[in-house]
Structure 1
């Protein structure tokens, strides 16, 4: 029996090691390619380690692109989208979870149906709206379509429903309004869900590519992901420079994960327990 347990643990470790390699491998390959020469980057069969470390690839990329402006744009959009989604989605989720009004379930099912529609279908309507508002080639065009999230409403509603309604009744007896219940009772208890939604929203916004390229034309109004697309040449692509730009773009998210990894794990794990 003990032998079987050891064999089972061995297979678990092997699977976990393979999962780590599959997850971390692309980042290691991106970094190693970023310090290669052009010839080494396109060599077939590929080589793993470069003969000479080409750190100047980072200098070339930094001189080519306004990374300072791209970082500012990206953080501005990410923060605005997170705040917008937490505010709008949490209020909508509170209404669906704690209030009673005619047609509540029908409306909620209709909103959930939007999750089955590919997001690309909304690109043209969103673009037409931005053109009509005169917001094309602005940061507002990157923020507005993402301020509401159907998934965010669903996620927070499920968590709000797990909170006992006795708390609402006790608060009403003390004279609290619905908004006071929402702000002083529900939101503090829903911190893990809010953290989870913030993380998922930040990741989705940070890596968004298609919409920024469609709605904006100037690189000064782009986010990092969209700005890096300009490194792809029409005839020749310097892959070592593309990878150097990728390392620069992904570095903040890695630092944020290292700093807030405990909160990230706690927020996501709580969804599996309480959701």
Structure 2
């Protein structure tokens, strides 16, 4: 019993230490966002500001049109998430329930593409979208991200865990493939779909490199790209940058804490283990 208690205590201590390390950057961000300029770069570092400068948040919103950036981020996040859910549901059902020639080979090739770094595809994708005339448009920011191999893999694993007897019974009752997918498979896969949607929302909201490359005008930029407004030739306004960063990540933090149980349930029930 003592060994077991000691083992659990050690695990809790290590987990607590890891959690503190993960939280330190966020604590520093909030602390810096409330500091006066002379305290931002002070040595030794000042963790607790001598005076809270809440006006940093107000000033940060006035430097760039964050209202427009917010609207763009919301539009891109919602539409790309809906698009990914549609393509993921259809593809995962095809790879898990429909027998067609070369199904496993095609799926293996798709999984293989996950090993290709996304940076390698930046130039070919940019050239392709430039030829289509999509640069600095919503189409360039949304359509390329309406499909995800990882999401298809995750949902396929979930679909494979659903008994085939349900499909047989539905076909006996005259149910079509699409009706079976929509009225049986999709409701049963709700935890996995919520997980996919949440991961997509967080990833799309925080996306920086792709919107930076594909947008030229202020009207099309997103919130992460808008943070570059605090970097000037005179230097970086760290206090204002941290204030704006805190406002940008706040919606995702709230969504994650409210929905984290669905992420855990979706991953575990899909048969994935860390």
Report TM bin, short chain. Answer: over 0.9
The question of whether the paired residues in 2 share the 8 Å contact of 1:156 and 1:194 is answered with yes
| SS at structure 1 position matched to 2:48 | coil
Structure 2: 5+ residue stretches without partners: none
**Distance in 2 of aligned mates of 1:184 and 1:134:** 39
Q: How does 1:1-275 map to 2 (within 5 A)?
A: 2-272=1-271
Compared with structure 1, are the counterparts of its residues 42 and 227 closer, same or farther at alpha carbon in structure 2 (3 Å cutoff)? same
**Distance in 1 of aligned mates of 2:143 and 2:198:** 19
* Count of residues in Structure 1 that have an aligned counterpart in Structure 2: 274
CA shift, 1:157, in A, is 0.9
**Distance in 2 of aligned mates of 1:143 and 1:246:** 23
| SS at structure 2 position matched to 1:46 | coil
Q: Deviations over 1:23-74 (max 9, x none)?
A: 2221111000001122211123211111121111111111112222111111
The question of whether the paired residues in 2 share the 8 Å contact of 1:61 and 1:245 is answered with yes
The question of whether the paired residues in 1 share the 8 Å contact of 2:154 and 2:267 is answered with no
**Distance in 2 of aligned mates of 1:105 and 1:260:** 33
**Distance in 1 of aligned mates of 2:141 and 2:100:** 33
The question of whether the paired residues in 2 share the 8 Å contact of 1:35 and 1:54 is answered with yes
**Distance in 1 of aligned mates of 2:247 and 2:134:** 29
CA shift, 1:83, in A, is 0.6
Q: Deviations over 1:82-117 (max 9, x none)?
A: 111110011011111000111111111111110010
Structure 1: 5+ residue stretches without partners: none
| SS at structure 2 position matched to 1:112 | helix
Compared with structure 1, are the counterparts of its residues 155 and 265 closer, same or farther at alpha carbon in structure 2 (3 Å cutoff)? closer
CA shift, 1:266, in A, is 3.1
**Distance in 2 of aligned mates of 1:243 and 1:274:** 35
Compared with structure 1, are the counterparts of its residues 89 and 65 closer, same or farther at alpha carbon in structure 2 (3 Å cutoff)? same
| SS at structure 1 position matched to 2:270 | helix
| SS at structure 1 position matched to 2:80 | helix
CA shift, 1:273, in A, is 7.3
The question of whether the paired residues in 1 share the 8 Å contact of 2:64 and 2:229 is answered with no
**Distance in 1 of aligned mates of 2:161 and 2:4:** 37
RMSD between aligned alpha carbons?
1.8
CA shift, 1:272, in A, is 4.7
**Distance in 2 of aligned mates of 1:148 and 1:9:** 42
Give the structure-1-normalised TM-score: 0.94
**Distance in 2 of aligned mates of 1:124 and 1:38:** 39
| SS at structure 1 position matched to 2:96 | helix
